[in-house]
Structure 1
Amino acid sequence: MAESPFHTQNHLKCPICLTLLKNPVTTSCGHSFCMDCIKRCWDVDFYRGVYSCPTCRTTFNQRPALSRSTVLADILEGMKQKAPARPVTCDVCKGIKVKAIQSCLVCMASYCQAHVRPHYESKAFKKHKLVKASPNLQHQICPHHHKALEVYCYNDQKCICVVCMGNQHSGHKTVSAAAEMAKKQEELKIKKRDFIQKTTDWKKEVHQCKKAVISFKRSAQAAVENSDRIFTEIIRSIQNIQAEVREKIRAQENKEVRDAESHIQRLEEDIVKLQKENSKVEPLLCTENHVYFFKLQKYYCFYSGVVPYNSSRDVNTLTFQRVTQSLSELKSQLDEVCEEHMREILYEVADVQIFQDDDLSEEEEEVVDAGLW
């Protein structure tokens, strides 16, 4: 059977102040208390020299260290968020309870507009402390002296009553709780204005950053497209140069080969003619009859004009190696130009920033110079 909410809340109440735990801490014996409540109890035990648990009376020779109970704190915080705010009603009204407007820290009661009037009109209530209607009046009363917590202790940073000032808070720096609250509220107002101003400034910066990011992305995309277009044009230009060089080499090859083949053909024709003439000389060389020799010589009529058309032309053994060397030099020069321009291009790329730095560090400059950025 599920445990009732009332029974659950009883387990979450402090055994000392009998209200829901505030800043709960747990002792080594397993019992939980409000941190302020158990500290006050052990402040009193200090004079006895023995510390004890208010619930089970377990004693400790030394003042135990307190640890905050995170689980209980989370449970209590959840209950506060889920619990609906109930209006404070008048403790004097009979029958139908009217909404209270003031609470008295002396009477420990809340009053509606009609029943609070005696506190303003009667001298008997002159010293009573009226505050805005509060459902937790016991939190504003000292559990030890049943006096209003109207003094603030700087040393312990908490509210105390006038009796506490002369006891455990003797010698501490104290001030009126209302005055200290007013001072703190003024400080909080300044902080609030600062928070609002910073929030406005940061929202403006966020808006500017978002616009800058959108613009930056568009610019980057345009730069990529332009670089692709330019590099495509460079590649096309190099391809055109490549085609032109190839065409020139082939044209020169065809011309020179054609001239050489024509020269070879003419030389071969002359060789045939010379061989024919040589065959006519052979009988003359073999005869011993001088009469016969002169008759034959007159008969043959040797062809004395058989000479190669241009037998004095020199044959070169040159190749296109110098062309290859020139192309290699062109490549080296292009590499140098590209490297020089790439350093400048990469430096310009690194300089395009949403948040502009004042100067590049030495390491960044070395990276840019090396072309690794």
Structure 2
Amino acid sequence: MAELVFDTQNTLNCPRCQNLLKNPVTTTCGHSFCMDCIKRCWDQDASLRRAYSCPTCRATFNKRPALSRSTVLAEIVERINQAVPAGPGDVKCDVCKGRKLKAIKSCLVCLASYCQIHIRPHYESEAFKKHKLVNASPNLQQQICPQHHKALEIFCYNDWKCICVACMGDQHSGHTTVSAAAEMAIKQEELKIQNRDFTQQITDIGKNVQAFTKAVDSHKHSAQAAVEHSDRIFTELISSIQKRRTEVRQLIRAQEKRETGKINEHIQKLEQEISNLEKENDTLKLILHTEDHIHFFQNYSFLSGLYLCTTSPRDVNDLLTFENVDKSVSELKNQLDKVCEEHMDKISKKVADVQLFKPPWFQDNDLSSSTSESDSESVIVSLRGSLKRRRLIKNPE
């Protein structure tokens, strides 16, 4: 179906249907029609038995003319059909009817905007050669002097605004003026320099952002590695302390078993001595309590064979408890706490030194080669050495 795009006087519209030409054909008299439209017209002429004629100029033909497709017109119409209509934010052509096409230029003299088709007269006709064309503008009235209705082509330095030629002899008489286009070209060059500066600043800041982004990623990875390393080291420390705890427990239990075994053995010997002495004492009691002197002297000779005590009494050691061991273990704990506190202060300072922003006083040659990992290793070595030095539980034997 043909589309109503332009006004009825447009040469690209069919005189019969008033729509944009479809399959255009041109008669020998020079007029163009849609192929279907001219065929229907001549079919009607044939049915009425009258001469074939042009619907526009009424020129007659002896016989029905042969029709051929007008290639040039068809290509023009095809381009028009393919033209993109104006969108919500586009400037619309002021000449188009029906479907409005997108305007590409605005004329400051005509105060109208034109699409690619309707701007052609401004390029081809001498009558439009002096018209001022600008890029399609939705606010043409702002480019026209409201007082003199002329284009604002002059720039006034005194009032810092655009004026028309008539304004120069009116309220802007004596002011410093220049062509608005020339002044805009100068200002654009200044803005280009500023634009280059901004672009360079954006590039530099972008590189800085990338550097900090990379630094943040590296910082996070380093922090994660430090956390995993410290977890592993402290796990080893805990394991080492637990091992020492087991050793101390075993030492105490072994000493307890050893000393209680010896004491129990000595107690058994003492109890046997008591039993033997009680038996001998009973014999002595019988002799002591007899009144028969003959019996007394007969048994007295056996007194030389009485049981002699072989186990000498021993004093009990005053150190019966492990209180001194408790004190040694407590002292070890205090020493470890002290060492940990000292090294935690160092670790805290080293952690605080890991900063993404360099301090103002930062100098590259002031950097030490030490790392957080080496500091952690030194802490572990120190603690392990302290644990070895503080193994105060010894075998009494």
1:88-131 CA deviation, whole Å, 9 max, x = no partner? 4897xxxx96645xxxxxxxxx8325516975xxxxxxxxxx64
How many pairs align?
259
Q: Which amino acid aligns with 1:111?
A: H
1:171-212 CA deviation, whole Å, 9 max, x = no partner? 988665334323321221111101221222233223323332
Distance 1:283 1:89 in 2: 153
Asked if structure 2 preserves the Cα contact closer than 8 Å seen for 1:280 and 1:300, the reply is: no
Match for residue 335 of structure 1?
A: 337
With over 3 angstroms needed to count, the CA separation of the structure-2 counterparts of 1:89 and 1:99, relative to structure 1, is: farther
Deviation at 1:356, TM superposition (A): 3.2
Match for residue 89 of structure 2?
A: 80
**Aligned partner (choices 233, 236, 250) of residue 236 of structure 2:** 233
Match for residue 123 of structure 2?
A: 112
Distance 1:181 1:265 in 2: 121
Match for residue 142 of structure 2?
A: 139
Deviation at 1:347, TM superposition (A): 2.2
Query: SS of 2:202's equivalent?
Result: helix
Asked if structure 2 preserves the Cα contact closer than 8 Å seen for 1:98 and 1:112, the reply is: no
Deviation at 1:161, TM superposition (A): 3.0
Deviation at 1:169, TM superposition (A): 6.3
Q: Within 5 Å, give how 1:245-260 maps onto structure 2.
A: 245-260=248-263
Higher RCO, Cα 8 Å, sep 6+? 2
Whether 1:316 aligns to 2:318 is: yes
Q: Percent identity?
A: 49
With over 3 angstroms needed to count, the CA separation of the structure-2 counterparts of 1:98 and 1:79, relative to structure 1, is: closer
Match for residue 218 of structure 2?
A: 215
Query: SS of 1:159's equivalent?
Result: strand
Q: Which amino acid aligns with 1:158?
A: K
With over 3 angstroms needed to count, the CA separation of the structure-2 counterparts of 1:267 and 1:212, relative to structure 1, is: same
Asked if structure 2 preserves the Cα contact closer than 8 Å seen for 1:213 and 1:354, the reply is: yes
Whether 1:224 aligns to 2:227 is: yes
Unaligned runs of 5+ in 1: 1-77, 101-109, 120-129, 361-373
Distance 2:194 2:222 in 1: 41
- TM value normalised by structure 2: 0.55
Match for residue 369 of structure 2?
A: none
Distance 1:161 1:184 in 2: 19
Unaligned runs of 5+ in 2: 1-86, 93-100, 111-115, 363-397
Q: Within 5 Å, give how 1:1-373 maps onto structure 2.
A: 79-80=88-89, 85-88=102-105, 99=119, 111-112=122-123, 114-115=125-126, 131-133=132-134, 135=136, 138-153=141-156, 157-161=160-164, 163-164=166-167, 176-303=179-306, 305-307=308-310, 309-358=311-360
Q: Which amino acid aligns with 1:143?
A: P
1:328-352 CA deviation, whole Å, 9 max, x = no partner? 1111111111122122222222322
Once superposed, what is the RMSD of the aligned Cα atoms? Answer: 3.5
- TM value normalised by structure 1: 0.59
Q: Which amino acid aligns with 1:303?
A: L
Asked if structure 2 preserves the Cα contact closer than 8 Å seen for 1:89 and 1:97, the reply is: no
Q: 287-296 or 177-186: which moved more?
A: 287-296
1:314-338 CA deviation, whole Å, 9 max, x = no partner? 3435211111111111111111111
Distance 2:148 2:170 in 1: 11
Asked if structure 2 preserves the Cα contact closer than 8 Å seen for 1:152 and 1:160, the reply is: yes
1:208-244 CA deviation, whole Å, 9 max, x = no partner? 2333233223222222222222112111211211111
